[in-house]
Structure 1
Amino acid sequence: MNRTPILHSRGFTLIELMVAMTISLILLAGMASLFVQNSRTQIEIEASNRKIENGRYGVQTLAGDIRNAGYFGEFDPGRLISPVTMPDPCATDLTLVRAALPVPVQGLDNATATQLSCISDLKVGTDVLVIRRVETCLPGELSCDPVSEGGAFFQASLCFDNPDELASADPLKSFDLDTRESGLTRHGRDCSATNAGTLVPVRRYLTHIYFVANNDNDNDGIPTLKRAVLGTNAGGDLAFTIQPLVEGIENLQLEYGLDRDDPAIAATVGPAAPLFADGTADLYNSNPATANDCGDELCAVANWRSVVAVKLNLLARNIAPSIGYVDSNSYVLGNLASGRPNTVAAANDRYKRNVFQSLVAMPNLAGRRVK
């Protein structure tokens, strides 16, 4: 009788199972480590891209406004008498706002927290930039806000025949500024003493104050480039509102290009005299109020009115810290008023940073100075 042999099946031994589990755990740990490293690398790349984009956008935003500084349509503010003192950037009284119009660009070098009443949370030691101009488009057209949005409105007279608008008799008659569009009555070239002519279109008058704040929102610790904008409140009065612009902008330092003559010649007639103005910058200084040995308000105003270019220096950082990184680098942001490099000491924290620089010409101001 044939008997079928009995086959005994064998399983894995405990040692074999432990070896297999150990190898699997090693592979799993390696894959997890690779995944974590790839995730961190992706996060760092995205953070770096965001930082670069924020820095570029910050420069672009500032540069666009700086290029338009002093734009008042067909009106030339060079005919206006300079203020005897430096204008208050935070002024909301119409008389003071009108008086500040001849100074299209103004700034504070290494500002302190209490220098300007209309901004808050200023990062001490950073610069403040003030731009005055009108909108390049008319209210309600293209991308311009309608008149109903309020604000200060500007109207330049093109009439040279009517004594009530004759600039030669009183430069202040050549333009008007009001919080109500209906209150502006300056006329075009077709006016005369006997014919009122057509009214000139109005443009929204802008005062923009750029500064670096310590926080984007309350106590979030994210330095942010912000802008205070002159407009009207619910009661129709002039007031400033603050707009956050770009997160991660940690420092703003500016140098202003002054259209001045050779200092040796200027010294013979006083530093306030803009000799042989040609629309190009002869010197750069972070504080025009003291440039060329300026010692009084009249000289400071004259220097600010001679600005034709601005050097931008922005320091941008990541929004979140980077694990395992320490920023031990120092950064040079232009020059101090003394001419020495403006060096920002190393923060020794975990945020990565980049410097962004740009030279911005102001054609409206430079073109009016060409002799």
Structure 2
Amino acid sequence: MKPTPKLPLPRRARGFTMAELMVAVAIGLLILAGMTSLFVRNSRAQAEIEKANRQIENGRYGIDVITADLRNAGFYGEFDPTPLGEPTALADPCATALAAIKVALPLHVQGYDGSAPGCISDVRSGTDVLVVRHTRACTTGSADCDDVDGPLFQASLCSTELAMTTIPENWFQLDTDVSKLTRTARDCTTAAVTRRFLTHIYYVANNDKPNDHIPTLKRAELQLVDGGLQFVPVSLAEGIENLQLEYGIDTNGDGKVDMVSADPTNAVDPTVAAGCSAGSCGPRNWHNVLTVRLSLVARNTEATLGYTDTRQYKLGHKADGSEYVQAAANDSFKRHVFQSLVPMPNPIGRKQP
């Protein structure tokens, strides 16, 4: 009889030693630290990309909005304002009386070099202000012409009304009361079409919302509010901290720019360019502005940790012809310059043979 084989004794269960456990925990912590560091770096990189995208988007949008408005400057539908001539004095861009708005109509653009008119507030020190005047391209009541209320412009096409050359009101009418818009079409019977008259004042504000310290490109729009005309501020693009303007002036009436900012008699401020004063040839210079050069600085709306902006930014020229240089801010905001030279086809076309 064979002996019964002995069954193997069960192996005694063994756990990790303290040394093994410590090594495993250390390796795990190293892996976790590496993954956390990678996640933080990726998050910061993504945040910086988003900041840069917003900065570029805001800068391009600011330039595009002003450029589009300038390309329409001086457009009054079927009406040619040339016979009105130039105003005898510079217009008040803040005027809301209809008579004053009519007087300002020949000045398709107007600007302020480092100062501002009284109807806008919180303007960033040292930045320029631009006023643009024109009517909308679409006619009132058309399907694609939804808009807020404001003054309406109506140009006459009736030969009888146009023959009364000594009375400008017979050439056009501008009013908020539709019943007073009585100019007619070519048949001298049918009412002429109307268009919304626009006065836009572009400026850089210190804040988007009160005390948020985000410099913002804004536009004050002439609107009809509670039965009266007033300028209503509208935010356009956050992070815009500087706007500088230069103008090209036609001094001899041939439809070509003769005076620009690079010349000794520059046109940074047509009010006083070439020795003019507001009461002498200042209105004539503004009346003859054909181009506008825009220089705009867009800044991130949020600071970048560990970054210092030590760069300077060239933004065209000063009144003495030297370069305008924005000094280094030495802060943690990243910046970019956007520039554009904008010809205005409406006043240019009226001057050319």
Q: CA deviation at 1:186?
A: 1.0
The percent identity for this pair of structures is 50
| Aligned 8 A contact 1:215 1:223 in 2 | yes
Structure 1: which 5+ runs fail to align? 192-196, 261-274
Cα deviation code 1:226-267 (max 9, x no counterpart) = 111111111x2211111111111111111111112xxxxxxx
Q: CA deviation at 1:5?
A: 4.4
User: Does residue 1:190 correspond to 2:187, yes or no?
Assistant: yes
Cα deviation code 1:58-108 (max 9, x no counterpart) = 111000000000000111111113222211110011111111111110000
CA distance in 2, matches of 1:251, 1:347: 12
Matched residue type, 1:178 = D
CA distance in 1, matches of 2:175, 2:50: 47
1:41 maps to which residue? 45
After superposing on structure 2, the runs of 4+ consecutive aligned residues of structure 1 that deviate more than 6 Å are none
CA spacing shift, 1:143–1:73, aligned 2, 3 Å = same
Matched residue type, 1:202 = T
Instruction: Look up the SS of the partner of 1:342 in the other structure.
Output: strand
Q: 1:228 aligns with which of 212, 220, 229?
A: 220
Matched residue type, 1:238 = L
Q: CA deviation at 1:351?
A: 0.6
User: Does residue 1:176 correspond to 2:173, yes or no?
Assistant: yes
User: Does residue 1:56 correspond to 2:95, yes or no?
Assistant: no
Instruction: Look up the SS of the partner of 1:133 in the other structure.
Output: strand
1:123 maps to which residue? 124
Alignment: residue pair count: 344
| Aligned 8 A contact 2:140 2:193 in 1 | no
Cα deviation code 1:186-234 (max 9, x no counterpart) = 122222xxxxx22211111110001111111111111111111111111
Q: Where in structure 2 are the equivalents of 1:208-223 lying within 5 Å? A: 208-223=200-215
Q: Where in structure 2 are the equivalents of 1:242-281 lying within 5 Å? A: 242-260=233-251, 275-280=252-257
| Aligned 8 A contact 1:259 1:278 in 2 | yes
Q: Where in structure 2 are the equivalents of 1:145-156 lying within 5 Å? A: 145=146, 149-156=148-155
Matched residue type, 2:246 = E
Structure 2: which 5+ runs fail to align? 262-266
Q: Where in structure 2 are the equivalents of 1:1-371 lying within 5 Å? A: 2-6=5-9, 7-111=11-115, 115-145=116-146, 149-162=148-161, 165-191=162-188, 197-234=189-226, 236-260=227-251, 275-280=252-257, 282-284=259-261, 285-371=267-353
CA spacing shift, 1:296–1:241, aligned 2, 3 Å = closer
Q: CA deviation at 1:276?
A: 4.5
Q: CA deviation at 1:124?
A: 1.4
Computed over aligned residues only, the root mean square deviation of the Cα atoms, in angstroms, reads 1.6
TM-score scaled to structure 2, two decimals? Answer: 0.93
Cα deviation code 1:46-67 (max 9, x no counterpart) = 1101110111111110000000
Instruction: Look up the SS of the partner of 1:332 in the other structure.
Output: strand
Matched residue type, 2:260 = L
CA distance in 1, matches of 2:170, 2:286: 24
| Aligned 8 A contact 2:127 2:242 in 1 | yes
CA distance in 2, matches of 1:333, 1:186: 45
